[in-house]
Chain A
C-alpha cells in the first residue's frame, strides 16, 4: 500500500500527487515511469514520475483526469492509499551528452517534460522550453519551468494566454534562429509529437516519449508494442523515449484508440452510479 502524502490541483482536471514510495524514489531517474493499480478491481495504468525526493522517499505524479482510472485517482485524498505501485520502469533518458536543447510539452505532457527540463538545466545545458495548452487555464508548471529554462514560451490554441498558436510555430522560429541545437525533446499528444517530428530536420536528434497502452510494464505482454525503424519494440522496456524520426505514429494512434468504447462505457457507468447516489 502506498500512501498519498500531498495533493494539489494544477489546473482544471490536472492534479499532482506525491506518493510515499521510498524504494522507487531512490532509483528513479528522469524519463522513468511507474505502474499503479488503485484497488483490487482496477486497471494497471502507467504514469511518468514527474519529480522525486529521495530523502523524503516521495515520488510526484501529475495526471490529467481523462478516463475512469485517472478520475478515480483524482478523487483520492491525502492519507488515502494506492494498492499497488511498481517501478521505476522504462529506460531513463540520458541527459549528459546534450548542450543545447529544445523541450516541447503539450497538454499534460508538460508534466512529463518537467523532470527532463530540470535535469538538462542542472547538467548545464542551454534549455529552450515550449509548452502548449488548449486554453490559458490549462497551462501548468509555468514557474517551475521558468526556473530551469533559458527561454520559456507558452502557447495556447485559443490565444487566451501566451502566444496564440501551436508549439510548432515557436519551434520553427527557434530552429531558424539557432543552428546548433543538438536535441529536440517532445512529449504530448501523439498528433503534436508527430507534427514536431515533421518539421524537425532529420539531422537533429528528436526524441519523443510514447504513451502506449500497457498492462504489466515489464515486457511481459507486448500490448505496448510500437513500430520504430520498421521493427516492433516494446514501449515499456525499450522506451518510452524513441527517436521520433523513426516512429510509426499512425500505428500508435490506431492502437491507442482500441479500447475507446470500453473506456467510455466505464465512464458512463461511473457517471450513472454518481447520479444515483446523488
Chain B
C-alpha cells in the first residue's frame, strides 16, 4: 500500500459562515478519518514524537490502538500521561512539538497527531457523559489534605493526579468559574467551554472539592491554609497580569488589554449581550497589537462581534509570528489583515475615544539571544491606521497578588515564583508550576508541571509521615 503523503484533512466551518458565529471552527475527525490517519503512522521504534511531547504521551501506542479501532484502549494509553486530551488536541502547538519531529514529516506531512488526540479525547468525553468517570481512583483514601491554588490546566492536572492517589484535594479559585485561561482566555470557537466543564466534572468525580471566589493571599493566606490542616500546597496561579505598551494615548476609551477584552467576551459572555449583562464595544475597525495566540484569538473574536476590518500589528515578520500555525491560517482565511513589520508608537483620539494608531515601520536586524531577528524601527516612516478600538496582546506576566502577600515566598526579578528541579518553592511544603514559574507558555507545559508537582508532593507527604 502506498503511503498517503498529506494529512487527512479535518472538516471545518466555512470561513464566511464561521465569522458570524462563536461555534467551534474545526470539527474533528470521524472514526473513519481517524483510522485512515492512524494508518499513516510508521510506528517507528525510535518514536521521536514521544520526546517531542512535553508530557511524553506514548503516541505510537495510542495511534496503533486507533488504527485497530480500539478507541477505549487509545484513551487509556493517553491518560497515563495526559488527563486532558480533548483540550490538548485542540490547543497544543503540535507543529512545534510532536509533529515537528515526526519521521513522516521529513518528506511528507507529519502524522496529524493533534487531530488524533482530539478525536480520542472527544470519544472519551462522549462515552463518559452517559457513563461513569474514565478516571479511576487507584488507591485507597489517604488522610493528607492538599490545597491547589488556581484552577487552570496546571492546577486541574495536579488536583486530578493527587486525587487519583487518594489524597484529599481542595482547589481554590479566585474567579467565579474554573479553568483559568481555558475559560477566560481561549475563545469558545477554538475550545468550547462545554469541554472544559466536562473535564472539570470528571475531576470533581474524583472527590476534588472546588472552592470558587477565594483569592489566596487575600481571602485566605498560605499560612492559614497550613493552619487549617493542609499539609502541602500547589500554586498554579498563572500569568494573569496584562502588559501594556506604555505609549501616549493608551488609556483612551476603546483600548483594551487582550485579557479584558477576552474576559468580557468569554468569561462574562459579552457576545450574548443583552442576555448577559456585561458589555463590550469594539466598533467597525479594530487593531490588535501582538502576534501570538492571544492576538489571533482577540482578532478573530473581534470579527465575530461584527468588526468589518481587523488588523494584526506585529513588529517582526510573518515568519516570526509566535502563534500556532493553525490559528494563523484560520485568521488569514477569515480575512484578518496582517500588518507585520509595524509597531505602534502612539494612540490618538477624539472626544476621549481612540481613532488612530500611529505606527512606525520596522526592519529585521541581527538575531538576538533567542535566535530571533531584532526588529529595528525605520526612521520617519510613521503612518496612521484609523480604528474604533485597539486590543493590546503583547504578553502577560505573573500576577503579584499572591506573591506580594506571602512574605517568605522567593520570586524571580520578572515576578515568577522561584522553584527547584522538583518544583518546590522556598517555603517547605509549597510547590509551584505552570505559567507562574515559566511566564506565559502553553497549556501542555502547565499540565506537565502539574503532573510533576503532584509527584513531588506525594514524595514530600510520604517523607513527612
Contacts and interface: CB of A to CB of B under 8 A. Distances in A.
B174 A86 contact: yes
Among B220, B269, B274: residue with most chain A CB under 10 A: B274
Contact of B259 (A43, A69, A222, A269): A222
B313 to A, nearest CB: 18
B345 interface: no
Interface in A43-78: 43-44, 68-69
B260 A232 contact: no
A220 B399 contact: yes
A29 to B, nearest CB: 11
Given A43-B278, A262-B281, A221 B250 contact: no
Contacts of A232: 244, 246, 250-251
Interface string A251-278: 1001101110011011001000000000
Nearest to B261: A221
A8 interface: no
A64 B259 CA distance: 29
Interface residues of B, number: 41
Interface stretch (B41-49, B211-219, B446-454): B211-219
B242 interface: yes
Contacts of A194: none
Contacts of A251: 251
B400 interface: yes
Contacts, number: 108
Interface in B407-443: none
Given A23-B219, A218-B174, A223-B256, A85 B399 contact: no
B277 A43 contact: yes
Contacts of A227: 251
Given A84-B212, A86-B213, A254 B352 contact: yes
A227 B249 CA distance: 11
A223 B401 contact: no
A84 B214 CA distance: 10
A27 B276 contact: no
A257 B251 CA distance: 13
A95 B111 CA distance: 65
B244 A222 contact: yes
Given A86-B213, A219-B241, A27 B401 contact: no
A125 B252 CA distance: 40
A240 interface: no
B263 A215 contact: yes
A85 B212 CA distance: 9
Contacts of A259: 279, 281
* Contact size range, A: 35 or more
B88 to A, nearest CB: 24
Contacts of A69: 277
A88 B218 contact: yes
B18 to A, nearest CB: 25
A218 B246 CA distance: 20
Interface string B232-247: 0000000011101010
A37 interface: yes
Interface string B281-301: 100000000000000000000
Interface string A10-34: 0000000000000110010000000
B260 A27 contact: no
B176 A83 contact: yes
A40 B298 CA distance: 24
Nearest to B279: A262
Interface of B: 174-176, 212-215, 218-220, 240-242, 244, 246, 250-254, 256-257, 259-260, 263-264, 268-269, 273-279, 281, 352-353, 399-401
13 contacts: A27-B218, A27-B219, A37-B176, A41-B276, A44-B268, A87-B218, A218-B240, A219-B240, A220-B240, A221-B260, A222-B259, A225-B244, A262-B279
